[in-house]
Amino acid sequence: MGRADIDIITAKQSLYSRCNNFKKFTEITEEDIERIKKMVEIRNNTVLDDQNKYLKPEYEKYISAINYLLSGKAHLKLPNTDEQLLFLILTVDPNLTIFNTYANTNLQLNNEIIRQRKMDAFYSTIREAFGFYDPNLLTIEKAYVNNYLCRNSLLPKLNKECKKEFIAKHANISFENITDEQLDNVKKCIEYWEISARDSKDINTLIYNIEAGKFNIHTPEEEILLFIMIFDPELELLKIYEEESKKDKIILRASIEIGIYDENLITLEKKYKSRFLPDKKISDWSI
């Protein structure tokens, strides 16, 4: 372990020891988010201009952010713990890759040995992507998702289990009997969604609207067809699946690029492609 590693360990311990008043983003506002995002953008440009070629950019940002948060200047601009920790995750992991990768790792297992292997693979994946792993970042990101992002969604607390349940209950569906009339109706629903959803076009809101009967659709086949055509019309998840040979790579890329990894959804996208886009070349590995 090098001197720089020892210094950052000491620094992060010092930072987290001050976090006794962490309110888990329950009081953070949209104005706070925008203000901190602007601060992050300015500082990231500075860090990247003076980057250490031996460190991953994410690790460089992590070190810089922690050192900044321990300075007196930071406390003037970020006076409370929640703002400081939000600055940290928006600097290091603005796409919440750590949270998404964890959420897409199936840990609901009775076999503790297999569960531990999956956790070890998760740790390894994050270290490879970021150059380090700090378990506190996962805890902070969970709080941000549950207490801020979900608070501002049409369906609070709709988590990854609900997403997987929605997809799983459609897993055995076939698109072979979808009629032209049904397809046209789904396309009209997409037009309705584009107009009505506006700035709330996230996966949680989409699933909520489908299950709440907000669309003029009548069958499970139409439900999952609508979901795919809105959420992943270019079949990006299937593309990632075809391009990567290792599961941990698939999970990581899917978490970063589309925010979800789900084996049932991959199967459904294969069926969708076969029925509606048989000539579409998804990747260089497409048959």
Interval 170-228: pLDDT, tens: 999 999 999 999 999 999 999 988 877 654 556 777 887 888 888 999 999 999 999 99
**The residue type at 217:** I
In a domain, 257, yes or no: yes
CB 131 within 8 A of CB 58: yes
Give me the half-sphere count of Cα atoms (radius 13 Å) on the Cβ side of residue 138.
15
In a domain, 284, yes or no: no
Clarify whether residues 104 and 69 are in a common domain. yes
Clarify whether residues 122 and 165 are in a common domain. no
Number of domains the chain is built from: 2
In a domain, 287, yes or no: no
For 194, counting Cβ atoms within 10 Å of its Cβ (0-12 exposed, 13-18 middle, 19+ buried), the class is exposed
Clarify whether residues 126 and 186 are in a common domain. no
In a domain, 190, yes or no: yes
**DSSP state letter for 283:** S
In a domain, 286, yes or no: no
Clarify whether residues 143 and 245 are in a common domain. no
In a domain, 281, yes or no: no
Residue where one domain finishes, among candidates 152, 182, 208: 152
Clarify whether residues 85 and 200 are in a common domain. no
Clarify whether residues 105 and 189 are in a common domain. no
For 166, counting Cβ atoms within 10 Å of its Cβ (0-12 exposed, 13-18 middle, 19+ buried), the class is buried
As a whole-number percent, the residues of the chain with pLDDT over 90 amount to: 41
Clarify whether residues 102 and 166 are in a common domain. no
What's the average model confidence in pLDDT over 255-278? 91
Average confidence score pLDDT of the chain: 84
Clarify whether residues 31 and 142 are in a common domain. yes
Clarify whether residues 271 and 211 are in a common domain. yes
pLDDT digit string (tens) for 92-112? 999 888 988 887 776 665 677
Residue where one domain finishes, among candidates 121, 136, 152: 152
How many C-beta neighbours within 10 Å does residue 102 have? 20
Residue 239 and residue 180: Cα distance in Å, rounded? Answer: 26
In a domain, 226, yes or no: yes
Residue where one domain finishes, among candidates 123, 152, 181: 152
In a domain, 127, yes or no: yes
Clarify whether residues 181 and 87 are in a common domain. no
Element (H, E) at 14: helix 3-16
CB 28 within 8 A of CB 86: yes
Q: What is the per-residue burial (b if ≥16 Cβ within 10 Å, else e) of 36-53?
A: beebbeebbeebeeeeee
Clarify whether residues 142 and 177 are in a common domain. no
Range of the domain at 207: 160-276
pLDDT digit string (tens) for 27-70? 999 899 999 999 999 887 776 555 556 678 888 899 989 989 98
Give me the half-sphere count of Cα atoms (radius 13 Å) on the Cβ side of residue 66.
23
